Homo-oligomer: A and B are copies of this chain.
């Protein structure tokens, strides 16, 4: 999977920025926090953290996409989150006693991340109070996301889950184009996020395309009439 067109910041900017790790700081504080971080790059398909390992670093994604998933004993993978620029993980690092990573994070594209070690975080002193507040907000957001998915699986049919997932993704990372909202994701990952088989996903997406609601290319979806998705 190779996604060449990344972020032309001219025509396409993300629509919302829901929860941020570095908000609420004064310019000076922000500088302090950023100085304590290290900027690291990860090539596509490289493992950033492994589920179960102790969380020794806090990560903030700057560029690229990350799949965050749970690995079963038989090797099957269950996608937990689809991380985009602005998202943070490795939050257990903030705590005094060592926590373990919930899932494995793998770079889908080439990624750039800000990385804080536990020591550097501890040296932040008073500033870390604001950081804690942000982290609580982020965790509440993740919790709501996962809960929503749980609710979806237990109480909604596949088509609705798919539609909702599409809308959520669009809100988070849709890019405004002339034709409509554009989304960069493969059927496979979309299906995994909606907890639907890739076959079922493909079927419904094709149907929506035939109805003129969306338009598909490889690894890309363009919303033409976003409102017409849920009612069908």
Enumerate chain A interface residues (CB-CB to B < 8 A): 70, 72, 76, 78, 80, 91-92, 94-96, 99, 102-103, 129, 132-133, 135-137, 139-140, 142-144, 146-147, 149-151, 153-155, 195
| A155 lies within 8 A of B72 (CB) | yes
State whether A140 and B99 are in contact (beta carbons under 8 Å apart), knowing that A78-B155, A146-B150 are contacts in the complex: yes
Chain B residues positioned under 8 Å from A92 (CB to CB)? 140
Chain B residues positioned under 8 Å from A96 (CB to CB)? 133
Which of B80, B99, B132, B143 meets A102, CB within 8 Å?
B143
| B150 lies within 8 A of A80 (CB) | yes
Which of B72, B91, B129, B150 meets A150, CB within 8 Å?
B150
C-alpha gap A153/B194 in the complex (Å): 12
> Closest chain B residue to A92 by CB distance?
B140
C-alpha gap A190/B25 in the complex (Å): 45
Which of B146, B149, B151 meets A143, CB within 8 Å?
B146
| B154 lies within 8 A of A78 (CB) | yes
Which of B76, B95, B137 meets A155, CB within 8 Å?
B76
Chain B residues positioned under 8 Å from A135 (CB to CB)? 136
